[in-house]
Amino acid sequence: MLYKFTAVVTGGAGFLGSHLCDRLLKEGFKVVCIDNLITGNIDNISHLFGNENFLFVKHDVTNYIFIPGRVDYILHFASPASPIDYLQLPIQTLKVGSLGTHKALGLAKEKKATFLLASTSEVYGDPSIHPQGEDYWGNVNPIGPRGVYDEAKRFAEALTMAYHRYHGIETRIARIFNTYGPRMRLDDGRALPAFIGQAIRGEPLTVFGDGSQTRSFCFVSDLVDGIFKLLLSNEVEPVNLGNPAEITIKQFAEEVIKSTGTNNKIVYKELPVDDPKVRQPDISKAKRVLNWQPKVERSDGLKITIDYFKKIIKA
């Protein structure tokens, strides 16, 4: 029988993690999914139970990770990842970014596996450079409410590079920009599920601040494709993955109203502390080294996501 690579996905029951488990299985890997389910959801992976190449382990990766046998790849995606989640779970967020990354890297060292860190555009903070290229070092407030996530991920990047330099581990760092699609949580507080949920339920859409802040939304299948290409590449230094199509949050709310065929109003609420004013990935490096760029138009991605949320809200 042909040898199958084994990949461990921490946070594998989360939004991105579960799509990665699907992709890795489709590519012929065996997958060990680890999640403590504090923000992950078993429904995201329930379709994989019974697949002989898939194993789910309920475990908090801030504690020692034991996996018997060979492991070839480790994709470290465990972390609360939406502003509401990391504001509600600040200590867990700091712990999983620091202690959890340490444990996952320790596993990579033990197994001589390639390690991929799910980092974030939040390492750039409220950026003074636009769009953000990988050589920008960021503008982060360490003691603000978002600091628990931003600094944990910055520490995780530093630890990953240290394991690469001092232990010779094969490592990859993906700086992931706003991503959306099916399996996002409706209540994670992010703009996209919030707006779609509000539009479907006939409620006003809550735009924070005056809505002039910008974001760039990448559809999940594109993002997963970029992660997979990065995993199999030789690129050790960080690579931005996201969709450069930038839009203001107000325009985005209007787009959701149009795409859901509703007629809801927009209401304005207070802007959260340290909310970045702009965010757009410079993806020239991903294009160059991975031959990757997003393909899904926002109008198409939104339609798929709206259909998904309609089913969730009806159920």
Site stretch for ligand UDP (CB under 6 A), options 2-10, 127-135, 190-198, 307-315: 190-198
DSSP E strands, the chain = 6-10, 30-35, 54-58, 73-76, 114-120, 171-176, 179-180, 205-208, 214-216, 218-219, 239-241, 246-248, 266-269
CB 190 within 8 A of CB 83: yes
Nearest to ligand UDP of 92, 178 (CB atom): 178
Among 213, 216, 221, 305, binds ligand UDP (CB under 6 A): 213
191 binds ligand UDP (CB under 6 A): yes
Q: Which residues pair with 76 in a beta bridge?
A: 10, 117
Among 208, 229, 233, 308, binds ligand UDP (CB under 6 A): 208
Shortest spacing between CB 214 and ligand UDP, in angstroms: 8
Per-residue binding string, ligand UDP, 269-298, x by CB under 6 A, is --xx--x-----------------------
152 binds ligand UDP (CB under 6 A): no
Nearest to ligand UDP of 206, 233 (CB atom): 206
Shortest spacing between CB 185 and ligand UDP, in angstroms: 12
Name which of residues 80 to 109 contact ligand UDP (CB under 6 A): 82-83
Can you give the three-state secondary structure of 135-167, one letter per residue? Answer: CCCCECCCCCCCHHHHHHHHHHHHHHHHHHHHH
**Surface-to-core class of residue 26, CB atoms within 10 Å of its CB (0-12 exposed, 13-18 middle, 19+ buried):** exposed
Site stretch for ligand UDP (CB under 6 A), options 49-57, 59-67, 208-216, 286-294: 208-216
249 binds ligand UDP (CB under 6 A): yes
SS3 state at 291: coil
Number of CB atoms found within 10 A of residue 107's CB: 22
Nearest to ligand UDP of 83, 226 (CB atom): 83
19 binds ligand UDP (CB under 6 A): no
Q: Could you tell me which residues come within 8 angstroms of residue 276 by beta carbon, excluding any fewer than 6 positions away?
A: 124, 125, 126, 127, 213
Among 207, 224, 257, 302, binds ligand UDP (CB under 6 A): 207
Q: Catalytic positions, please?
A: 149
Size of the site for ligand UDP (CB under 6 A): 17
Q: How far apart are CA 5 and CA 210, in angstroms?
A: 49
Q: How far apart are CA 143 and CA 121, in angstroms?
A: 18
- Residues in contact with ligand UDP by CB under 6 A are 82-83, 178, 189-192, 194, 206-208, 213, 215, 249, 271-272, 275
